[in-house]
């Protein structure tokens, strides 16, 4: 048995697919790329953390991104942190 092949996980009792949150982040103005990861070993410790790459010439503020995202997705899908990074590691 190999686990789930999709990326769904349970966060605070809700099934969450990080790819849905990534999609919501990438349609925001100024965001070129986005990635969301789940951190925490046990179900009680699991948290979402987001990473965004700004579009050329854009300036992103993590707190504003969280506020904007909260208007597009349910509260349990808003990452506890969003970090602005220069590029996504491959």
pLDDT grade, residue 75 (50/70/90)?
very high
pTM assigned to the model: 0.85
Percent of the chain with pLDDT over 90: 72
Residue 11 has pLDDT above 70, yes or no: yes
For 23-58, the three-class secondary structure string (H helix, E strand, C coil) is: HHHHCCCCEEEEEEEEECCCHHHCEEEEEEEECCCC
Distance (Å, whole) CA 64 – CA 12 = 23
Q: What is the pLDDT of residue 2?
A: 62
Length of the chain equals 90
13 SS3 class: coil
Report, in this order, helix, strand and coil percent for the chain, each rounded to 5. 25, 30, 45
* Residue 6 pLDDT > 80: no
| Dihedral pair phi/psi, residue 68, rounded to 5° | -65, -40
């Amino acid at each position: 048995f190999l686990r789930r092949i999709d990326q769904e996980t349970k966060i605070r009792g809700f099934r969450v697919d990080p790819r849905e949150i990534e999609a919501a982040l990438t349609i925001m103005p100024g965001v070129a790329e986005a990635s969301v990861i789940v951190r925490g070993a046990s179900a009680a410790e699991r948290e979402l953390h987001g990473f965004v790459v700004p579009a050329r010439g854009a300036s992103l503020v993590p707190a504003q991104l969280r506020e904007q995202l909260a208007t597009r997705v349910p509260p349990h899908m808003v990452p506890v942190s969003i970090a602005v990074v220069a590029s996504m590691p491959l």
